[in-house]
Structure 1
């Protein structure tokens, strides 16, 4: 019963957003309010909010609550680089192992993230990137077929998704969400982790001039990866 209710909560929130009843940056009901409304435990309500936050549909602020995320593009403060180039710049060897390459029906959170209708076909890939034959990052990506029609035909042993998408739909803007997570069992297997080492997760949506190109989740062991950036500020006269 709790599983069905959990899906009902997610569907309710997504319906409110799609219909325009809840606008971007609007606060959504709290865990307690949702638990009372759907007659479930706070844990069930928290799971629904957490998964929508992981998908970039909501944002959460400690002490303030959950809010509808902005679905408009915004400038990125993080430089987006090709992971293969990063590894080779360290004079290390790079390799990649594709795990999944498929076309799927877009469930509501993915449809919203890509700006398509629920049920439309989108491309889905899971790849593991290696540095010196050690797993460095798991990349799960959903791609808009209209903007990258030959995505599934690429050989990602030799070409990264970033390289291919930069060729067919040059990046103009991006939106990031960065957080520390505890990896699940499948993620630990892919990353060859033997304990619950914290991982760095980046949720990223990218735009080209024609629209939203992809929605990706990048997960790396906290001990092996870090993010950096460079900001230039214009001095006011």
Structure 2
């Protein structure tokens, strides 16, 4: 797969099996509340019935690297940045990171959308999200789906999703020409552009679907975002869900 042509590309292994275990241990401290997330934690599947033992259907935690700075000393941020610079240019820097976990048996889908529909309209639209699987990511537990070439088409009309969790959606389906599921083994990643249509099914399995997502864009555009008040929930917490892209 070609990132430029398709709007997404599998990147191969970014984390070894041992490194995955290290990230899982930290991730679970976020999920259990051992690392306090405050307003940076939300349920992207709010409004949908939860299993009795589930805190959220789709747990989104913004800025894990700010909440737990030791993450920055681990290899993922460096490797993902190297990847981003190969894909969109040497001026790429981290815009934000987040964790998204689909609870066992939650079966709540993340609606079809384009990330750029959440974001400010910037003069340089280059952006890449690196989606890293920390569990085996399958069609049944919510692996990513993409529509090939959709990043080269206009942003579609979006509206609030019915989950009540701040997500948005657009008209698309698994029957859309070019719609492709991308299952991944633990430690592997897929990168996608800001305009690429994507979604994931709910988790119908008995295990978690834990993902670590890192978003990159040109340094000048990150600076412009911050000047305009967009920090993806780093300080301006009321924008944590409304202005970030759910997956």
Under a length normalisation based on structure 2, what TM-score does the superposition of the two structures give?
Answer: 0.27
Larger Rg: 1
Under a length normalisation based on structure 1, what TM-score does the superposition of the two structures give?
Answer: 0.27
